[in-house]
Amino acid sequence: MKTRLIGMRTIKTALVVVLAYIVSSFLNDELSFSMIYAAVLCVETSVVSSVKIGYNRALGTVIGGVIGLALTYVPMYGGITMAVGVVITILFCNLLDIKKATGIAITLVIIIIIGSAEVAPSYYAIQRTFDTVVGIIIATIVNLLIYPPDQMRRVKEGFSQYKELAIQVVGDVILYGMIDGLEALGKSLDDVKDRFNALNKELSILRKYDKEEYEYYQHLLEFAEKVFIYAEAISLSEPTVRMTKDNHQRLFKVLSLEILTEDFVTPQDSTREDLIYNYNLAKLIAALDKIQRTKVFVHE
């Protein structure tokens, strides 16, 4: 699979740096590191996560600003002041369940403690807090307006990758007993789930995706999980188990997978292991058949 050398998130990150640089030049006498740093941190892979992360980091920025300002009035050695500020900031961010904002809050505390030695602490803290919030706003606006991520497209791409890998891995498991690919298949399934969860979050707020298409891929995800579960079950079978003729024919029909054997087993002649193997194999083939029948949706 070919991947782009420079993705859209990279381009948008570069854009927010330029915008933050320009805005900082207009608002301040000197460039604001906190504004540019905050803008870079807040470029996200989805519109909803961008707004949510932006809000959380803005809240973390206020916390960092208040803590940094308070500590500038505490007569302690600079290194100790920073250490105390870091600990307090982490505790507050954990308490408010905004752990992803911890980094930006800590950075602001340190910036304020270092910079306040040259100017009035209250002025410096307010200025740096304001700069950081502006950086967050810039990143959020860019992510909303400049080619916002299409979560449905990401789900389709992830599912297509999973389907191709599943066909290869299942063939290796059935033909050669090779199980090395199962780990990669599991990771690919997790990736599809992550993409679908991102779509879920966006769907509840933006509602810009087709409901029928959403439900279709939700249904396919269930079968994708079954493919992985039954492939794992097949991989645990004994090498001596035999296949039914019906499963043999269905394998060829669904996967074009032909196993050269005439030693088929009937339900009456099956051992317990044969029955379990063929049950799992039938379920696996059925799930594979479902995920291969991709439906095309036409959007007006």
pLDDT in tens, 95-128: 988 888 888 889 888 888 887 556 677 777 788 7
Query: Cβ-count burial of 172 within 10 angstroms (0-12 exposed, 13-18 middle, 19+ buried)?
Result: middle
pLDDT at 18 > cutoff 80: yes
Q: What token pair was written down for 223? A: 């079968």
2 domain-assigned: no
pLDDT of residue 276: 95
Q: Are residues 261 and 221 in the same domain?
A: yes
Q: Are residues 51 and 170 in the same domain?
A: no
User: For residues 60 and 104, is the Cβ–Cβ distance under 8 A?
Assistant: yes
299 domain-assigned: no
Q: Are residues 134 and 30 in the same domain?
A: yes
pLDDT at 295 > cutoff 60: yes
pLDDT band of 129, cuts 50, 70, 90: confident
1 domain-assigned: no
Question: What contacts 235, CB < 8 A, 6 or more positions away?
Answer: 173, 177, 179, 182
pLDDT band of 45, cuts 50, 70, 90: low
Q: Are residues 99 and 15 in the same domain?
A: yes
Q: Which of 21-35, 186-200, 264-278 has the lowest mean pLDDT?
A: 21-35
User: For residues 82 and 113, is the Cβ–Cβ distance under 8 A?
Assistant: yes
Question: Please, how many CA atoms are within 13 Å of residue 273, restricted to the half-sphere of its CB?
Answer: 8
pLDDT of residue 104: 82
pTM of the model as a whole: 0.66
pLDDT in tens, 48-81: 777 777 778 788 888 888 898 888 888 777 688 8
What is the span of the domain harbouring residue 185?
151-292
pLDDT of residue 5: 67
Compute the average pLDDT of residues 29-55: 75
Q: Are residues 26 and 86 in the same domain?
A: yes
Q: Are residues 169 and 283 in the same domain?
A: yes
Last residue of a domain, one of 99, 116, 145: 145
Separation of alpha carbons 50 and 218, rounded Å: 24
231 domain-assigned: yes
- What are the b/e assignments for 96-107, b being 16+ CB within 10 Å? eebeebbbbbbb
Last residue of a domain, one of 114, 145, 176: 145
Last residue of a domain, one of 122, 145, 168: 145
Compute the average pLDDT of residues 194-214: 75
**CA-based angle 123:129:131, to the nearest 5?**
100
Compute the average pLDDT of residues 7-25: 87
Q: Are residues 119 and 139 in the same domain?
A: yes
pLDDT of residue 43: 80
Comparing 101 with 181, the larger pLDDT belongs to 181
pLDDT of residue 300: 54
Separation of alpha carbons 6 and 140, rounded Å: 20
224 domain-assigned: yes
16 domain-assigned: yes
As for how many domains the chain has, the answer is 2
DSSP for the chain reads ----SS-HHHHHHHHHHHHHHHHHHHH-SS--HHHHHHHHHT--SSHHHHHHHHHHHHHHHHHHHHHHHHHHTS-S-HHHHHHHHHHHHHHHHHHTT-GGGHHHHHHHHHHHHHHTTTS-HHHHHHHHHHHHHHHHHHHHHHHHHSS---HHHHHHHHHHHHHHHHHHHHHHHHHH---THHHHHHHHHHHHHHHHHHHHHHHHHH--S-HHHHHHHHHHHHHHHHHHHHHHHHHTS-TT----HHHHHHHHHHH-----------TTT--HHHHHHHHHHHHHHHHHHHHHSPPP----
Query: Cβ-count burial of 259 within 10 angstroms (0-12 exposed, 13-18 middle, 19+ buried)?
Result: exposed
Q: Are residues 156 and 270 in the same domain?
A: yes
Q: Are residues 162 and 113 in the same domain?
A: no
Q: Are residues 124 and 203 in the same domain?
A: no
Compute the average pLDDT of residues 12-26: 89
Tokens 């950075």 belong to 107
192 domain-assigned: yes
pLDDT band of 1, cuts 50, 70, 90: very low
Q: Are residues 120 and 157 in the same domain?
A: no
pLDDT of residue 168: 92
Tell me what the pLDDT averaged over the chain comes to.
84
175 domain-assigned: yes
pLDDT at 87 > cutoff 90: yes
What percent of the chain clears pLDDT 70, i.e. is strictly above it?
Answer: 90
Give how far the C-alpha of residue 66 lies from the chain's centroid of Cα atoms, to the nearest Å: 32
CA distances from 289 to 24, 243, 254 (A): 56, 18, 6
pLDDT at 212 > cutoff 90: no
Q: Are residues 126 and 157 in the same domain?
A: no
